[in-house]
A and B are shown apart, each in its own frame.
Chain A
Amino acid sequence: MPHLSASFAEYLRLVAPEALPGPGHPDLPAVHGTTIVAARYRDGVVMAGDRRATMGSAIAMRDIEKVFSADDHSIVGVAGVAGIAVELVRLFQVELEHFEKVEGTRLSFDGKANRLGALIRGNLAQAMQGMVVLPLFIGWDERAGRGRMFSYDATGGRYEEHDFCSVGSGSAFARGALKKLHDPEADELTAVATLLQSLYDAADDDSATSGLDLTRGIFPLVMRASADGVARWSEDGVREVAEAIVTARIGRPDGPRGRAL
């Protein structure tokens, strides 16, 4: 039987390999995108990404976007070399839509997660040179009826996350905050506030992550996926939460008070 794959990336590799993401070189100066966080809440999953891109120790951009809708039900956020990361997302978006059109049906959620892993694997040669792109993939699994999250390593290995996850240079600091604040039974607003708190903490300790920039009005990009599909939070909605957080931090710079026992 002739091979008629429903994968756009495979087709691209065949007819126009030069259009695939990359190639980069570690000695070339490249813009890096930094921290992405995601968490589960009562009705689905949310993701937020800071807006800073760095080039070495300089800030290259203050309003770069690292969180994208992959299709109507899923979201992908990317940290790493920005040029390759954005191409990877574009390829992934076409990959999902291509499959849907050719087959007349959507990929399963696990199928989508696996395809993203395969695209990263295709990028492995660059990863070996330090041109790493690491995504977070989250979304609403219609068959399972719940929000799901996947993180990846540079070899394309995918790992399902259950409560929260983070990726990028500020991710360790963000994870600490998420660990303390995250509540899987919280509503969407609380979940988003938790993500913004964690990005605040990431920015506090990681120079490559931007915080809540009230002076310029640049705030993290927030998206959620629930049974209603994917939606991007409005700038005003994020601003409101961000202002509340910054105001509270004036009193307690290290964040909300927890209880040790």
Chain B
Amino acid sequence: MPFYVNPEQLMLDRAEFARKGISRGRAVVVLRYADGIAMVADNHSTTLNKVSEIYDRIGFAAVGRYNEFEALRVAGIRHADLRGYAYDRSDVTARSLAGAYSAQLGAAFSGAEKPFEVELIVAELGESSADDVLYRVSYDGVITDETDLAVIGGDVEHVAERLRAGFDPQASLDEALAAARRALGSSSIEAAVLERGTGRRRTFRRLPRQEARRG
């Protein structure tokens, strides 16, 4: 026999459940620098990644339950590759990808057995820095687009506050990495960049651990 539950209370409970799961994880920051977009995660594992490549100019960063964001990452690659194959590579955008993530997370939040315990950032490198795009997609499907930097995961407010202080989107990569590392308060850094002006179609590059530690 079904019990009546106040929808407002139900949503509050679900949000609290998801937030609790996410806040247990370490933070990830995505920030613009002079030649592109850097994605930096506080991550002790050298093989289980939190930031990764989705498409030519699109990167993905996630926090929360590993199995959930891993499935979302693969779904994103499929979404992008299918779209690029069926139309053209230039028709794959972060906007459409973030929209697809938002739809899936939103549907799970209001309908499924349990909401996703993840938060995502979809970053797209523009032709010029003015065209760079950062979308933050939260566990309930809410999308926000950020201009210079985005932070997800545990202790978001403090990390974001530290990162915003003296933030410079024209900083060099080393300076950006140093700022991200200070904000995260960690020396176990996983880092990757979307680089502008390399002449390569695929702009994503994973940084070796030593390079990530530099700066």
Contacts and interface: CB of A to CB of B under 8 A. Distances in A.
B123 to A, nearest CB: 15
A4 interface: yes
Contacts of A144: none
Contacts of B78: 8, 11, 98
Contact of A12 (B52, B74, B77, B85): B85
Interface in A101-141: 101-102, 104
Contacts of A4: 71, 74
Interface in B77-100: 77-78, 81-82, 84-86
A98 B86 contact: no
A97 interface: yes
B52 A94 contact: no
Interface in B57-84: 71, 74, 77-78, 81-82, 84
A94 B86 contact: no
A208 to B, nearest CB: 30
A4 to B, nearest CB: 7
A16 B82 contact: yes
A101 B82 contact: no
Given A19-B86, A101-B54, A104-B49, A8 B81 contact: yes
A90 interface: yes
Contacts of A250: none
Contact of A101 (B71, B77, B85, B86): B77
A97 B81 contact: yes
B85 A94 contact: yes
Contact of A102 (B74, B85, B86): B74
A16 B77 CA distance: 16
Interface string B159-173: 000000000000000
A94 B54 contact: no
Contacts of B77: 98, 101-102
Interface band, chain B: 10 to 19
Contacts of B84: 94
Contacts of B81: 8, 94, 97-98, 101
A91 interface: yes
Contacts of A244: none
Interface of A: 4, 8, 11-12, 15-16, 19, 90-91, 94, 97-98, 101-102, 104
Interface of B: 49, 52-54, 71, 74, 77-78, 81-82, 84-86, 202
18 contacts: A4-B71, A4-B74, A8-B78, A8-B82, A8-B85, A11-B78, A15-B82, A16-B86, A19-B82, A19-B85, A90-B85, A97-B81, A97-B202, A98-B77, A98-B78, A98-B81, A101-B81, A102-B77
Given A94-B85, A101-B81, 12 more contacts: A4-B71, A8-B78, A11-B82, A12-B85, A19-B82, A94-B81, A97-B81, A97-B202, A98-B78, A101-B52, A101-B53, A102-B77
The 7 closest A-B pairs by CB, nearest first: A101-B77, A98-B81, A94-B85, A101-B53, A19-B86, A94-B81, A102-B74
